[in-house]
Amino acid sequence: MPRLNRSLQAYGTPDFEATLKEELAALGPDVLGLQQGLTAGSISLGENLGVMPLRVTDSPAAICVRAGIFFNSILSGCACADDPTPENENAEYCEIDLEIERNTGEVRIAPVTE
């Protein structure tokens, strides 16, 4: 299970948002579940991930964050020389819910389906 230890330590300080953005971007599209949030492409890309915290709440056990994720995808073709499908990048956006456990820094990530 991934950990966001630096974000947990920064919670309640002015550095929390920047630290959270950095740690989430470093996790990459597979861990963040971006494949499930695709709307235009067929493969999510890990370069240039943008993170926007939308809502942060807390409890004694966890810090809960809803975040918007900006990323790119491609619609891949067969990669044949005469394939008419160009590999253009598409702008994508999805939202995820994070639950960061206060005791361990472990994070559970779930796509928002609403």
pTM, entire model: 0.88
DSSP H helical ranges for the chain: 5-10, 16-32
Domains of the chain: which residue ranges? 5-76+87-111
Q: pLDDT tens digits, the chain, 114 residues: what are they?
A: 999 999 999 999 999 999 999 999 999 999 999 999 999 888 999 888 999 999 999 999 999 999 999 999 998 765 566 666 666 889 999 999 999 999 999 999 999 987
Cα within 13 Å of Cα(92), Cβ side: 29
Determine the pLDDT at residue 114. Answer: 77
Give bridge partners of residue 74 from the DSSP assignment.
43, 89
